[in-house]
């Protein structure tokens, strides 16, 4: 393998290359790159990419690095292109309800700017507080707000992307209604950088809700909680976000006995003053009728709770473990979540679940080092995939410790569109240098 | 393969009755809702996915262009067989296959008329939100191809925000499903790439779409202003107030005059602009939003405000707005409808520029527009029988598009690029931009036989000259 460091040093300013001692900090799933470049401009990025493309180097792109391990284990990484020094830039047009920002802009800086004009991007991906816009777009993971607002995919109105040859192409524009040309930006959203490097995105924003309040409810068991939740969600006054948490399965107490898990339902209501009065009262009544107990969750605690729910499985406190995201239609969520609970109980695995019945998502986190054992992990993933298949759903392994992760297909079957996806990859990245082998079907 | 053999093969697939190939019969299919035309070799009406696939495969093997067609109401030339070939009309495939009320999903065939979908699911308290103005005639398949909008897309989004999965026939005749009944599964967003691809990537044979619950309460308001500036200020105030209306439409002085002459709607004599605003949601929030909107309009100088929550009354308020296009016939024999889009805050600036263009070319221009999302529809009024009118009208259209682009907007908000605007693409996209879009298309359809001559500059175009829309066509329940 040619001298990657040497070739890059000739093409870029000297201080762009991270010293050899730092390389391991940029490892992805234990795979250390041969070189890391910290790019400070579009021109530098273009030089680095074009060189990598010419040489056929395996490239990984990095924003904050918070979700660097999301995706399959890389076979090799020749160079990490870090965007941590790229300039943040925000161009907010409050009257148009649109904003354009560079990929390196953090989501929190963006929300702060929008907030000053009474607007926001109603998204809550995992670790939102730390991440860049580019990373959030490339991974396209949704949180509880996805139920009412969809995901970033429905908010992006334009994008600039750099191809592996260093050439920049844009699609869409700066207007909320646009059918000029094809929506390539949709393919880049959630593509893990395998089709190009996102440089900038334009998005449509929303007004901040006039009132935003959360209620918590306790139910005797998760199945009942989910059933009650689906009924509330079907009402016109239903909450815009609702998550059921089943926390601490198979935890043992001091006496060695298994402690019961906690089952809480968190519901977020957004609207006007009068609207909220009715929403909250109706919800409280419905919860009582359906066998639960409801209470208000105060402002600061509510914000913390929603952040915790969005970060579930990815937050630092989670530690080492297996995090699987299962998805299906809302009407099947009860069956799916109960099945996951049974798998956990059957194997006596410690586990916690966060279920979004309205958005059809079950997230299961199994803490502990034992999940680094390939045999144990693959057995569980197979069982979970079988469950998901039973409800025409899917199961994606978001996190898994090594070495087990190396043996897993983290994505599962992407469906009959795979040949088209492969053709798309060939068109956009003909030499196959971008995040090679980490996406679905080995793309 | 020679033409006769191709026709015989097509007849073998769908039956003789469903292949139109006689020149006299083909005349109707030379047109769509746009100003262009192109003569197909044959028009075929498949009954199902298998027949669609077989027809596509035949044409592909014969090296002949394939042009999908819905109701043919498109305004940019998307269904025009500009390079000849086989038109595949999907109108026989128009069933609602399945409605999943618990998950609010419908599975439909591409030839289903847009409004018929909402009508079919209304008894279940559901509706399909994207409501293009031609919804009494246009089809879901066409909506997918053009990523159609409508007045209610201000709050609820366009077609792409409501399509979950598509069964499509690729150019080689293979059938593939894109997407799932839910979002979030692994892989590239191929559905997102396909919606709005103007029939160039595949032929839709089934669509899985999201349905929304009908709102508990709807309030429609019509506000009349002496001056356009005031109406525009009211729009900004409403947007800034934190409520997102479900629709916000505007009409200018000339279109108001036309409607008043044609319909005797009851607008005051001196009306300079009319704003139609709709809000919906739970009863309390609708009432609050409605009161707020009315106060804001009054604050900006509205001389008259009418509001309604009951269905028939609301329809009456909308009637003035919906009658605008048809009413243009009282002002001139012909109109050329332009579709442009700008950032919302630039609307007034661009409208003034449209006024200048109108004076420069010497034709009146009536404006109706989706004020909430910056999508404008200047209608250039003229008489095609008069020598020299037609080229000047086209020139005006081009100038309006340039004005939109200069104001930070783009070429088309809802009608698509098609034939009409492909020459203008370099105004907004570089060669690199267009190259990337071409590569996306190549991934789906490399042969270039699927709806050739659309979207990308160059290539075959309508060489037969301009055939302007006539006011008569607008009478058939169509509005914009």
**pLDDT digits 0-9 by tens, A286-308:** 999 999 999 999 888 999 999 99
Burial (CB < 10 A; 0-12, 13-18, 19+), residue A95, is middle
Nearest to B440 among A187, A271, A273 (CB): A187
Stretch(es) of chain A classified as CATH 3.30.465.10: 90-207
Task: Tell me the average pLDDT across B173-182.
Answer: 97
Residue A187 to residue B282, Cβ atoms within 8 A: no
User: Do B184 and B224 belong together in one domain?
Assistant: no
Q: Quick check: B151 and B36 in contact, CB under 8 A?
A: no
- pTM for the whole structure: 0.96
Quick check: A2 pLDDT over 80?
A: no
DSSP code for A72:
S
- How many interchain CB pairs under 8 A, A with B? 245
The rounded Cα A376 to chain-centroid distance in angstroms is: 25
Residue recorded with tokens 């700017």: A113
User: Do B276 and B335 belong together in one domain?
Assistant: no
Nearest to A421 among B190, B196, B440 (CB): B190
- Measure the N-to-C terminal CA separation of chain B; round to a whole number of Å: 43
Quick check: B476 pLDDT over 50?
A: no
Residue A182 to residue B177, Cβ atoms within 8 A: no
Task: Tell me the average pLDDT across B242-271.
Answer: 91
Tens of pLDDT, residue by residue over A376-390, are 999 999 999 999 999
Q: Quick check: A17 and A53 in contact, CB under 8 A?
A: no
Residue B343 to residue A174, Cβ atoms within 8 A: yes
Site from A122, A146, A171, A178 to mutate, B interface, most B CB atoms within 10 angstroms: A178
Task: Tell me the average pLDDT across A41-61.
Answer: 97
Chain B residues lying within 8 Å of A191, measured CB to CB: 188
The CATH code of the domain that includes B317 is: 3.30.70.3450
H or E element at residue B244: none
Residue A415 to residue B197, Cβ atoms within 8 A: no
The two structure tokens encoding residue B465: 């000259």
Asked, for residue B459, whether it belongs to a domain, the answer is: no
Residue B242 to residue A118, Cβ atoms within 8 A: yes
CATH pick for A211-407 out of 3.40.462.10, 3.30.980.10, 3.20.20.60, 3.40.50.720: 3.40.462.10
Quote the CA–CA distance of B58 and B8 in Å, as a whole number.
11
Q: What is the pLDDT of residue B479?
A: 54
Stretch(es) of chain A classified as CATH 3.40.462.10: 211-407
Quote the CA–CA distance of B437 and B197 in Å, as a whole number.
10
Quote the CA–CA distance of B409 and B375 in Å, as a whole number.
9
Residue B433 to residue A170, Cβ atoms within 8 A: yes
Rounded to 5 degrees, φ, ψ at A71 are: 120, 180
Rounded to the nearest integer, the mean pLDDT of chain A is 96
Domain final position from B291, B322, B353 = B322
Q: How far is CA A338 from CA A299, A351, A355, A387, in A?
A: 31, 13, 10, 10
Residue B346 CB neighbours (<10 A): 23
The two structure tokens encoding residue B69: 């067609």
Residue A424 to residue B421, Cβ atoms within 8 A: no
Q: Where does the pLDDT of residue A432 fall: very low under 50, low under 70, confident under 90, or very high at 90 and above?
A: very high
- The answer to whether B243 contacts chain A (CB < 8 Å) is yes
Contacts of A164 (CB under 8 A, 6+ apart): A49, A52, A53, A59, A196, A428, A429, A430, A431, A433, A434
Quick check: B473 pLDDT over 60?
A: no
The CATH code of the domain that includes B387 is: 3.30.70.2740
Quote the CA–CA distance of B67 and B69 in Å, as a whole number.
6
Residue A1 CB neighbours (<10 A): 8
Quote the CA–CA distance of B31 and A151 in Å, as a whole number.
39
The two structure tokens encoding residue A108: 């929190």
Quote the CA–CA distance of B164 and B363 in Å, as a whole number.
44
Task: Tell me the average pLDDT across A96-107.
Answer: 97
Q: Where does the pLDDT of residue B466 fall: very low under 50, low under 70, confident under 90, or very high at 90 and above?
A: very low
User: Do B185 and B221 belong together in one domain?
Assistant: no
- The answer to whether B130 contacts chain A (CB < 8 Å) is no
Chain A residues lying within 8 Å of B408, measured CB to CB: 174-175
**N residues, chain B:** 480
- Annotate B114-139 with DSSP letters as a single string: HHHHHHHHGGGTEE-----TTTTT-B
The two structure tokens encoding residue A118: 């009474």
Asked, for residue B371, whether it belongs to a domain, the answer is: yes
Q: How far is CA A210 from CA A288, A427, B118, B241, B292, in A?
A: 27, 46, 31, 10, 13
The two structure tokens encoding residue B62: 């014969």
Chain A residues lying within 8 Å of B414, measured CB to CB: 177, 179
User: Do B196 and B313 belong together in one domain?
Assistant: no
Residue A424 to residue B186, Cβ atoms within 8 A: no
Quote the CA–CA distance of A19 and A28 in Å, as a whole number.
17
Quick check: A198 pLDDT over 60?
A: yes
Q: What is the pLDDT of residue A319?
A: 87
Q: Where are the alpha helices (DSSP H) in A312-403?
A: 333-346, 374-390
Q: Quick check: B474 and B325 in contact, CB under 8 A?
A: yes
Q: DSSP strand E in B259-350: where?
A: 273-281, 304-308, 334-337, 340-341
Asked, for residue B13, whether it belongs to a domain, the answer is: yes
User: Do B208 and B226 belong together in one domain?
Assistant: no
The interaxial angle of helices A273-289 and A222-233, nearest 10 deg, is 140
Q: Which of residues 9-28 of A touch B (CB under 8 A)?
A: none
Contacts of B300 (CB under 8 A, 6+ apart): B225, B230, B231, B233, B234, B237
Quote the CA–CA distance of B247 and B239 in Å, as a whole number.
11
DSSP code for B84:
B
User: Do B402 and B369 belong together in one domain?
Assistant: yes
- The answer to whether A223 contacts chain B (CB < 8 Å) is no
Pairing of β A119-120 and β A168-172: unpaired
User: Do B184 and B74 belong together in one domain?
Assistant: yes
Tens of pLDDT, residue by residue over A211-228, are 999 999 999 999 999 999
The two structure tokens encoding residue B460: 């075959």
Domain range for residue B383? 329-416+467-480
Asked, for residue B65, whether it belongs to a domain, the answer is: yes
Domain final position from B322, B343, B375 = B322
Residue recorded with tokens 């790229």: A86
User: Do B476 and B352 belong together in one domain?
Assistant: yes
Tens of pLDDT, residue by residue over B88-122, are 999 999 999 999 999 999 999 999 999 999 999 99
Task: Tell me the average pLDDT across A86-103.
Answer: 97
Rounded to 5 degrees, φ, ψ at B251 are: -130, 145
Q: What is the pLDDT of residue B475?
A: 39
Chain B residues lying within 8 Å of A171, measured CB to CB: 433, 436-437
The CATH code of the domain that includes B149 is: 3.30.465.10
Q: Which residue of A has its CA nearest to B372?
A: A96
Nearest to A153 among B192, B412, B443 (CB): B192
Q: Which of residues 269-298 of B touch A (CB under 8 A)?
A: 281-285, 287-289
Quote the CA–CA distance of A123 and A110 in Å, as a whole number.
12
User: Do B197 and B223 belong together in one domain?
Assistant: no
Instruction: Please name every residue paired with A325 in a beta bridge, in sequence order, or none if there are none.
Output: A363, A396
Asked, for residue B421, whether it belongs to a domain, the answer is: no
Percent helix / strand / coil, chain B, rounded to 5: 40, 20, 40
Asked, for residue B429, whether it belongs to a domain, the answer is: no
Asked, for residue B269, whether it belongs to a domain, the answer is: yes
Q: Quick check: B245 and B279 in contact, CB under 8 A?
A: yes
Instruction: Please name every residue paired with A434 in a beta bridge, in sequence order, or none if there are none.
Output: A59
Quick check: B58 pLDDT over 50?
A: yes
> What CATH number should be reported for the domain whose range is A90-207?
3.30.465.10
Quote the CA–CA distance of B353 and B318 in Å, as a whole number.
28
Strand order in the sheet with A394-399: A293-297, A211-218, A262-271, A241-249, A351-356, A361-367, A321-327, A394-399
Of the listed ranges A247-256, B187-196, B452-461, the one predicted with least confidence: B452-461
Chain A residues lying within 8 Å of B176, measured CB to CB: 416-417, 419-420
Q: What is the pLDDT of residue B462?
A: 47
Strand order in the sheet with B86-89: B19-20, B42-44, B86-89, B66-69
Q: Quick check: B32 and B79 in contact, CB under 8 A?
A: yes
Q: Where does the pLDDT of residue B354 fall: very low under 50, low under 70, confident under 90, or very high at 90 and above?
A: very high
The two structure tokens encoding residue A36: 């890391």
Q: Quick check: B440 and A427 in contact, CB under 8 A?
A: yes
Q: What is the pLDDT of residue B474?
A: 38
- The answer to whether A246 contacts chain B (CB < 8 Å) is no
- The answer to whether A360 contacts chain B (CB < 8 Å) is yes
Quick check: B140 pLDDT over 70?
A: yes
> What's the structural domain count of chain B?
3
Quote the CA–CA distance of B155 and B280 in Å, as a whole number.
10
Asked, for residue B430, whether it belongs to a domain, the answer is: no
Q: How far is CA A374 from CA A116, A348, A366, B398, in A?
A: 49, 18, 14, 64
Chain B residues lying within 8 Å of A328, measured CB to CB: 182
- The answer to whether B433 contacts chain A (CB < 8 Å) is yes
User: Do B78 and B223 belong together in one domain?
Assistant: no
User: Do B13 and B154 belong together in one domain?
Assistant: yes
Q: Quick check: A436 and A77 in contact, CB under 8 A?
A: no
Distance from CA of A153 to the nearest CA of B (A): 8
Site from A164, A180, A331 to mutate, B interface, most B CB atoms within 10 angstroms: A180
Q: What is the pLDDT of residue B362?
A: 95
Phi-psi region of A182 (alpha: psi -120 to 50; beta: other; left: phi over 0): beta
Quick check: B259 pLDDT over 80?
A: yes
Nearest to B288 among A95, A169, A274 (CB): A274
Q: Quick check: A132 and A83 in contact, CB under 8 A?
A: yes
Tens of pLDDT, residue by residue over B272-297, are 999 999 999 999 999 999 999 999 99
Q: What is the pLDDT of residue A267?
A: 98
The helices-and-strands tally (H runs, E runs) of chain A is 13, 18
Chain A residues lying within 8 Å of B195, measured CB to CB: 183
User: Do B277 and B128 belong together in one domain?
Assistant: no
**N residues, chain A:** 443
Rounded to the nearest integer, the mean pLDDT of chain B is 93
- The answer to whether A155 contacts chain B (CB < 8 Å) is no
Tens of pLDDT, residue by residue over A358-378, are 999 999 999 999 999 999 999
Quick check: B460 pLDDT over 80?
A: no
Quick check: B472 pLDDT over 50?
A: no
């Amino acid at each position: 393998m040619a001298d990657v460091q040497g070739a890059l040093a000739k093409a870029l300013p000297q201080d762009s290359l991270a010293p050899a001692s730092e390389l391991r900090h940029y490892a992805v799933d234990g795979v250390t790159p041969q070189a890391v470049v910290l790019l400070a401009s579009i021109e530098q990025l273009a030089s680095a990419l074009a060189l990598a493309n010419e040489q056929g180097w395996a490239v990984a792109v990095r924003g904050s690095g918070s979700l660097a391990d999301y995706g399959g284990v890389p076979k090799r990484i020749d160079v990490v292109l870090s965007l941590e020094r790229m300039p943040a830039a925000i161009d907010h047009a409050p009257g148009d309800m649109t904003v354009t920002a560079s990929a390196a802009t953090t989501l929190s800086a963006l929300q702060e700017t929008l907030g000053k004009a009474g607007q926001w991007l109603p998204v809550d991906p995992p670790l939102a507080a730390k991440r860049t816009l580019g990373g959030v777009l490339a991974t396209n993971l949704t949180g509880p707000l996805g139920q009412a607002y969809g995901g970033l995919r429905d908010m992006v109105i334009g994008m600039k992307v750099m191809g592996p040859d260093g050439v920049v192409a844009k699609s869409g524009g700066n207007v909320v209604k646009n059918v000029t040309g094809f929506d390539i930006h949709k393919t880049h959203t959630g593509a893990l950088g395998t089709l190009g490097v996102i440089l900038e995105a334009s998005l449509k924003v929303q007004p901040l809700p006039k009132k935003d309040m959360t209620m918590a409810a306790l139910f005797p068991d998760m199945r009942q909680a989910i059933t009650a939740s689906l009924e509330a969600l079907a009402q016109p006054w239903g909450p815009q976000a609702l998550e059921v948490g089943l926390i601490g399965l198979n935890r043992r107490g001091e006496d060695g006995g298994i402690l019961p898990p906690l089952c809480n339902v968190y519901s977020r209501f957004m609207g006007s003053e009068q609207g909220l009065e009715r929403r909250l009262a109706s919800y409280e009544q419905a919860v009582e009728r359906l066998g639960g107990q409801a209470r208000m969750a105060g402002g600061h605690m509510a914000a913390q709770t929603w952040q915790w729910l969005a970060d579930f499985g990815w937050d630092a406190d989670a530690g080492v473990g297996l995090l699987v995201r299962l998805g299906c239609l809302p009407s099947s969520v009860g069956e799916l979540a109960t099945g996951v609970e049974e798998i956990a109980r059957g194997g006596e695995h410690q586990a916690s679940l966060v279920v979004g019945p309205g958005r059809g998502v079950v997230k299961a986190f199994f803490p502990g080092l034992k999940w680094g054992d390939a045999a144990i992990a693959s057995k569980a993933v197979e069982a979970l995939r079988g469950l998901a298949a039973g409800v025409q759903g899917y199961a994606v392994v978001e996190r898994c410790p090594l070495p087990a992760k190396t043996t897993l297909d983290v994505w599962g079957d992407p469906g009959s569109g795979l040949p088209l996806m492969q053709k798309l990859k060939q068109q956009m990245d003909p030499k196959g240098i971008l995040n090679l082998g980490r996406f679905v079907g080995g793309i | 393969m020679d033409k006769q053999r191709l026709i015989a093969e097509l007849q073998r697939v769908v039956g003789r009755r469903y292949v139109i190939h006689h020149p006299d019969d083909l005349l109707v299919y030379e047109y769509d809702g746009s100003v262009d035309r192109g003569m197909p070799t044959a028009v075929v009406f498949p009954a199902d996915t298998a027949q669609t696939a077989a027809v596509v495969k035949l044409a592909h093997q014969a090296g002949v262009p394939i042009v999908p067609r819905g109701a043919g109401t498109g305004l940019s030339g998307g269904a025009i067989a500009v390079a000849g070939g086989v038109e595949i009309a999907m109108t026989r495939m128009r069933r609602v296959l399945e409605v999943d009320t618990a998950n609010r999903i419908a599975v439909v065939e591409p030839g289903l008329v847009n409004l018929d979908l909402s009508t079919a699911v209304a008894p279940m308290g559901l509706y399909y939100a994207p409501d293009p103005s031609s919804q009494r005639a246009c089809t879901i398949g066409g909506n997918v191809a053009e990523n159609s909008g409508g007045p209610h897309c201000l709050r609820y989004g366009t077609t792409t925000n409501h399509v979950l999965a598509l069964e499509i026939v690729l150019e080689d005749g293979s059938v593939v499903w894109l997407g799932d009944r839910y979002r979030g599964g692994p892989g590239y967003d191929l559905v997102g790439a396909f919606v709005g691809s103007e029939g160039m990537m595949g032929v839709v044979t089934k669509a899985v779409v999201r349905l929304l619950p009908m709102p508990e309460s709807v309030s429609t308001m019509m506000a009349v202003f002496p001056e356009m500036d005031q109406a525009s200020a009211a729009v900004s105030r409403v947007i800034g107030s934190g409520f997102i209306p479900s629709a916000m439409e505007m009409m200018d002085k000339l279109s108001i005059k036309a409607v008043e002459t044609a319909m005797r709607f009851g607008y005051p004599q001196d009306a300079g602009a009319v704003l139609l605003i709709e809000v919906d949601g739970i009863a309390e929030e609708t009432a609050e939003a409605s009161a707020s909107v009315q106060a804001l309009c009054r604050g900006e100088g509205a001389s008259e405000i009418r509001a309604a929550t009951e269905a028939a009354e609301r329809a009456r308020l909308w009637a003035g707005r919906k009658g605008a296009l048809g009413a243009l016939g009282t002002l001139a024999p012909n109109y050329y409808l332009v579709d442009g889009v700008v950032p919302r805050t630039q609307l007034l600036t661009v409208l003034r520029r449209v006024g200048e263009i109108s004076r420069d070319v010497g034709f009146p221009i009536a404006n109706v527009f989706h004020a909430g999302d910056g999508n404008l529809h200047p209608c250039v009024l003229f008489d095609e029988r008069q020598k020299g009118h037609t080229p000047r009208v086209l020139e005006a259209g081009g100038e309006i598009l340039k004005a939109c682009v200069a104001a930070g907007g783009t070429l088309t908000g809802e009608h698509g690029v098609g034939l009409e605007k492909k020459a203008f693409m370099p105004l907004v996209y570089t060669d690199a931009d267009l190259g990337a879009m071409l590569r996306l298309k190549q991934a789906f359809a490399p042969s270039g036989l699927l709806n050739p001559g659309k979207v990308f500059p160059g290539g075959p175009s309508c060489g037969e000259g301009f055939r302007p829309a006539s006011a008569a066509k607008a009478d058939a329940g169509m509005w914009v």
